[in-house]
Structure formats: structure tokens, C-alpha cells
């Protein structure tokens, strides 16, 4: 399989679902039952906890904090009827998108992701810099102690540590930051809540 074909297979489902009207939906609409599915995150754990916030609230806070690097409304992606998750994505540009997995019923967030589809040529450096900036913005939403420079350095370090790995995680308090490096098929940065264990008495 050629590299171009691999990238197309990854990007096509996202582009297809984002081609229509961008709306945040609690559940996938019935007329999307035949749509291709986005690849699932290999690192999302079964029974993972949720953040105590909804996607609408997250977007409002994120966009207020990042007026020059906004995330548009998310569009639901079709899931099997017995899935406990609702997945949704928001296209940022041709090679960058945000995605999420929500708990059905509550709409609470289980994971938030920024995925960069690498490009070649003179625009590669600027595209990657923008992707890292979005990833750093997402990190700061869950670690407000970081400055923009510190969050970019932290994301860059995670990308280096996770290079070539299906996923690399780093826990910080009640969240974990994840890098999933699929080479030319895409680089994903995710933020997820951690199920905290009770301390032994």
C-alpha cells in the first residue's frame, strides 16, 4: 500500500463526515449509519473515567482562551448501536483536526484529541508548528500553570519520547497526556482523565 493511499484512507472518513453542516450532536444521526468510521484511539481504556464537562462547555472555554486558534463545532461520527461512546470530530484545516469520544447519555468527555496529518514540501514546517501550537493549547486547558512557551516545550518533549510508538502516555495529577505516532498516517495528541485510586488507610 502506498503512503498516499494510507493517508487517504485515514483522512477520507474525516473529510466525508466534515463535509456537511458542522453541528454538535448528542448522538449520531440516523442517516449517518452507513458512513465510514474514523479509526478508534488504541489507547482509550475500557471503563475510562470522564471529565466533568461537556463538549460545548469545553469548546467555549477553549475558544475564549485561544481567540486566534479556534476549534469549530464538532460533528458526530456514526457508531454501532451497542457502543457506549459517541465520537465526534472538528476539521481545523486540511491536515489538522480535533476529535473526541463522549459518554453516551451524559455527553461527558472521555478523551480530547488533536491529530496532525503530515504533509511534505515547503509548508511542512509551518503546518507542524501550528499542530504543536494547537496541542499545547489543549494541554493548557488542563494545566493552567503552564505558559504558552512551557506547554509547547512539554508537547515537543512528549512527541520526541513517543516517536514511532503506537502510544506513549504521561500522567500529571488527574489527567494523562498521550502521544500516538503513526508516522505518515498521522500524529495524535490526546488528553484524558485518570481514574484515581483511593489511598490505603
Checking if the pLDDT of 120 tops 70, the result is yes
Task: Report how far residue 168's alpha carbon sits from residue 162's, in angstroms, rounded to the nearest whole number.
Answer: 5
In this predicted structure, what is the pLDDT of residue 104?
Answer: 85
Q: Which residue range is the domain that position 116 belongs to?
A: 3-35+49-193
In this predicted structure, what is the pLDDT of residue 19?
Answer: 33
Residue 41 included in any domain: no
Beta carbons within 8 Å of 178's beta carbon, 6+ residues apart: 43, 167, 168, 169, 170, 188, 189, 190, 191, 192
Task: Report how far residue 4's alpha carbon sits from residue 25's, in angstroms, rounded to the nearest whole number.
Answer: 32
Sign of CA dihedral 98, 140, 160, 194: negative
Residue 75 included in any domain: yes
Checking if the pLDDT of 196 tops 80, the result is no
Total domains in the fold of the chain: 1
Main-chain phi, psi angles of 183, to 5 degrees: 60, -125
pLDDT band at 43 (very low <50, low <70, confident <90, very high): low
pLDDT, greater one: 129 or 23: 129
Residue 44 included in any domain: no
Residue 178 included in any domain: yes
In this predicted structure, what is the pLDDT of residue 27?
Answer: 32
Count CA within 13 A, CB hemisphere, residue 162: 24
Task: Report how far residue 181's alpha carbon sits from residue 176's, in angstroms, rounded to the nearest whole number.
Answer: 16
Residue 189 included in any domain: yes
Task: Report how far residue 36's alpha carbon sits from residue 111's, in angstroms, rounded to the nearest whole number.
Answer: 20
Per 3-state DSSP, the chain is made up of helix, strand and coil in percentages (nearest 5) of: 35, 25, 45
Percent with pLDDT over 90 in the chain: 52
In this predicted structure, what is the pLDDT of residue 68?
Answer: 96
Average pLDDT over residues 3-12: 38
Average pLDDT over residues 158-178: 92
> In this structure, what C-alpha cell is assigned to residue 85?
461512546
Residue 200 included in any domain: no
pLDDT, greater one: 101 or 37: 101
Give, for 177, the enclosing helix (H) or strand (E): strand 175-181
Residue 201 included in any domain: no
Residue 73 included in any domain: yes
In this predicted structure, what is the pLDDT of residue 116?
Answer: 97
Checking if the pLDDT of 114 tops 60, the result is yes
Task: Report how far residue 11's alpha carbon sits from residue 19's, in angstroms, rounded to the nearest whole number.
Answer: 12
pLDDT tens readout for residues 61-98: 999 999 999 999 999 887 666 677 889 999 999 999 99
DSSP characters over 73-116: --EEE---TT-SEEEEEEEEETTEEEEEEEETTT-BEEEEEEEE
| Measured torsion, CA atoms of residues 71, 173, 43, 135, in degrees rounded to the nearest 10 | 30
Amino acid at each position: 500500500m502506498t503512503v498516499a493511499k494510507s493517508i487517504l484512507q485515514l483522512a477520507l472518513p474525516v473529510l466525508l463526515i466534515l463535509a456537511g453542516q458542522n453541528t454538535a450532536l448528542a448522538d449520531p444521526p440516523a442517516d449517518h449509519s452507513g458512513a465510514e468510521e474514523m479509526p478508534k484511539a488504541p489507547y482509550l481504556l475500557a471503563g475510562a473515567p470522564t471529565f466533568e464537562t461537556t463538549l460545548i462547555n469545553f469548546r467555549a472555554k477553549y475558544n475564549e482562551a485561544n481567540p486566534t486558534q479556534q476549534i469549530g463545532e464538532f460533528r458526530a461520527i456514526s457508531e454501532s448501536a451497542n457502543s457506549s461512546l459517541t465520537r465526534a470530530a472538528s476539521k481545523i484545516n486540511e491536515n489538522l483536526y480535533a476529535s473526541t469520544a463522549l459518554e453516551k447519555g451524559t455527553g461527558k468527555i472521555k478523551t480530547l484529541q488533536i491529530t496532525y496529518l503530515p504533509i511534505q514540501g515547503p509548508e511542512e514546517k509551518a503546518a507542524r508548528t501550528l499542530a504543536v501550537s494547537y496541542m499545547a493549547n489543549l494541554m493548557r486547558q488542563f494545566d493552567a500553570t503552564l505558559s504558552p512557551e512551557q506547554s509547547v516545550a512539554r508537547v515537543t518533549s512528549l512527541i520526541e519520547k513517543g516517536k514511532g510508538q503506537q502510544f506513549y502516555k504521561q500522567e500529571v495529577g488527574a489527567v494523562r497526556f498521550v502521544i500516538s505516532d503513526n508516522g505518515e498516517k498521522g500524529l495524535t495528541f490526546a488528553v484524558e482523565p485518570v481514574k484515581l485510586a483511593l489511598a490505603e488507610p
